[in-house]
Structure 1
Amino acid sequence: MLEATGLTKAYRDTVAVRDLTFTAQAGRVTGFLGPNGAGKSTTMRLLLGLDAPTAGTAHIEGRPYRQLTDPLRTVGALLDATWRHPGRSARAHLRWLAATNGLPESRVGEVLRLVGLDQVAGKRAGQFSLGMLQRLGIATALLGDPRVLLFDEPVNGLDPEGVQWVRHLLHGLAAEGRTVFVSSHLLPEMEQTAQDLVVIGRGQLTYQGTMAEFVARAASRGVRVRTPHPQLLRRALTERGVVFTEDPDVFYVSEMDSARIGELAFTAGATLYELSPLAGSLEQAYLELTGQSGEFTGGGAR
């Protein structure tokens, strides 16, 4: 479990994270979203003890990172896929980490096979593509078989097959009872990956809850209506001041649910061929949330 309570980080006159409180539960994939400059990377660094908070606490399984007695077995992280010695092979990189953290060398081969790098384990990391570096970073995070995992943009540089592989990997890790906390700008992919969401803007929490609840916000904002009597329905909607757009014989109605539209059409004498709520999406809900305030425009810390 990850837990932030009143987490604040200020750099002189800039507040990167402000009074941030959230939890990420074991057995779930929690997506971490926010515009550029929202404070996502700063928050992850605070969780991992790489930066000291100005106020508040960040706990991993009930303790600050620096108090963990066996950190690599407790939490694994991928914050920067390019962090590695370019002259070391993938195997040597992982062997060094295993040796310095008291992990069995057999674990090196296991994670290399898991991420699909066993055939290039002897190749220098400096010759790796970005996608291969992402896989090496994931292997590094998994080396200690930790109970908590943090990933910052883990699918950058991966081809579609690799993106799908990461999705299945994260689902599998959560199904084993681990806490999985992942940041990504690829909203359609995040929608297929995360079960819970933490959304921030300018370092402050704007939403925490399930993916389904968040997407439902957007789904409830529109209904598709198809009728052979567009003039009658158009007049009825206009007289009520209802917001809508239309294509030939198809209306997209905002801020009115299906039941009320059906009653209005019946009263107006308009036959309906279709009356269906628009399917929401993470992208739609996210853009609606972040578009509601000037807080999300420019500036701030990433």
Structure 2
Amino acid sequence: MLEATGLGKSYGGTVAVRDLTFTARPGRVTGFLGPNGAGKSTTMRLLLGLDTPDTGTALIEGRPYRQLDDPLRTVGALLDPAWRHPGRTARAHLRWLAAANGLPSRRADEVLALVGLSSVAGKRAGHFSLGMLQRLGIATALLGDPRVLLFDEPVNGLDPEGVHWVRGLLRTLAEQGRTVFVSSHLLPEMEQTAQDLVVIGRGRLIHEGTMAGFLAKAGPREVRVRTPDEAALRTALTERGVVFTEEPGVFHVSEMDSSAVGELAFTAGVTLHELTPLTGSLEQAYLELTGQDTEYPSGGAR
């Protein structure tokens, strides 16, 4: 489990994180979202003991990182895929880390196989592509078989097969009971991967909870209605001044929730075969709820 409580950090006169409180739980993939400059990288550094908070606490399984007895077996992290000695091979890089943390050297080859790098295990990491470095970084995070995992933009530089693989890996790790905390700007990918979300803006918490709860905050985009009584429903909606579009047998009603549409149809004596609220995508909800917290908004963003 990851826990941030009242977390605060400033650099000079710039506030990076302000009174931030959230929890990432075992058995779940928790997405960590926010505009550029929101404080995501600072938060992850505070969780991993790379920076010291000015206020509050950052705990991993109930303890600050620096107090963990066996940190690599407790938490694994990918913050910067370029972190490696360019002259070392992938296998040597991992074996060095394994030796420094009391892990068997065979673990290096096990995680290289897991991330698909066995064929280049003897290649110097300085010649790796960005996608290969990402895989090596993930292997490094998994080296100690930790119970908690933090990934910052883990699919950057990966091809579609690699992105699909990372998605499955994150889900599998969570299904094994691990805490998986992932920061990403790829919202459609996060929508397919995360069950929970922590969303911040300008260092403050905007949302903590389920993916469904975040989408609901932005409000339903429309309600899909299917009926054999098209003329009667069309009349009822028009008389009420409701905005809608239609295709044969199906209406898309805007600015009304499903309960209101159902009550309107009941009053008008209209038979319904379907009444489905359609929420917007994660991207739509994210842009709507974080628009005021964007550090460098494009024209028309506010």
Fold equivalence (TM over 0.5): yes
SS in structure 1 of the partner of residue 77 of structure 2: strand
Given that 1:232 and 1:268 are in contact with CA atoms closer than 8 Å, whether structure 2 keeps it comes out as no
Distance 1:179 1:264 in 2: 45
Larger deviation: 225-234 or 179-188? 225-234
Confirm or deny: 8 A CA contact 1:219 1:277 kept in the other structure: no
Give the C-alpha shift of residue 24 in structure 1.
Answer: 0.7
Q: Any residues of structure 2 matched to 1:95-106 within 5 Å, and which?
A: 95-106=95-106
Report whether the alignment pairs 1:237 with 2:240. Answer: yes
Structure 1 residues without counterparts, runs of 5 or longer: none
Asked if the contact 1:76–1:146 (Cα under 8 Å) also holds between the matched residues in 2, the reply is: yes
Matched, 1:189 2:189: yes
Question: Deviation at 1:216?
Answer: 3.5
Which shifted more, 217-226 or 77-86? 217-226
CA distances 1:206-245 after superposition (whole Å, capped 9, x unpaired): 111112222344563421347446873553232xxx5x35
Please give the secondary structure, in 2, of the residue aligned with 1:15: strand
**Aligned amino acid, residue 116 of structure 2:** G
Change (3 A) 1:225 1:218: farther
Q: What is the correspondence of 1:34-113 to structure 2 with a 5 Å cutoff? A: 34-113=34-113
Q: CA deviation at 1:168?
A: 1.3
Is the aligned partner of 1:164 residue 2:167?
Answer: no
Give the corresponding residue for 1:256: 256
Q: Please report the RMSD computed on the Cα atoms of aligned residues, expressed in angstroms.
A: 2.3
* Structure 2: segments with no counterpart, 5+ residues: 298-302
User: Match for residue 7 of structure 1?
Assistant: 7
Deviations 1:101-138 (A, max 9, x none): 22110101100100010111011111111111100000
CA distance in 2, matches of 1:66, 1:101: 15
8 Å CA contact retained: 1:236, 1:264: no
Identity %: 76
Cα distance change, pair 80–232 in 1 and its aligned pair in 2 (3 A): same
Task: Judge conservation of contact 2:221–2:279 (CA < 8 Å) in 1.
Answer: no
Distance 1:153 1:16 in 2: 19
Query: Secondary structure at the residue paired with 1:145?
Result: coil
Is 1:125–1:133's contact at 8 Å kept on the other side of the alignment? yes
C-alpha separation between the residues in 2 aligned to 1:155 and 1:6? 30
Q: Is the 8 A contact 1:89 1:124 kept in 2?
A: yes
Give the TM-score normalised by structure 2: 0.88
Q: Which residue of 2 aligns with 1:298?
A: 296
The residue type equivalent to 2:19 in the other structure is: D
Displacement of 1:30 after TM fit?
0.9
- Which amino acid letter does the alignment assign opposite residue 294 of structure 2? F
Name the count of aligned residue pairs.
293
Give the drift of 1:269: 8.0
Deviation for aligned residue 1:277: 1.9
SS of residue in 2 equivalent to 1:135: helix
**Is 1:129 equivalent to 2:132 in the alignment?**
no
> Over residues 142-169 of structure 1, what are the superposed CA-to-partner deviations in whole Å (9 max), with x where a residue is unaligned?
1111111100000111111111111111
Code of the aligned partner of 1:295: D
What is the distance in 2 between the residues matched to 1:248 and 1:172? 41
Aligned partner letter, 1:32: F
CA distance in 2, matches of 1:263, 1:273: 14
Say whether the 8 Å CA contact 1:152–1:184 is kept in structure 2: yes
Contact persistence 2:233–2:268 (CA under 8 A): no
- Partner amino acid for 1:237? R
AA aligned opposite 2:25:
Q
1:273/1:236 CA distance change after superposition, 3 Å? farther
- Distance, in Å, in 2 between the alignment partners of 1:235 and 1:170 is 48
Letter in 1 for 2:296: G
Whole-angstrom distance in 1 between the partners of 2:42 and 2:193: 23
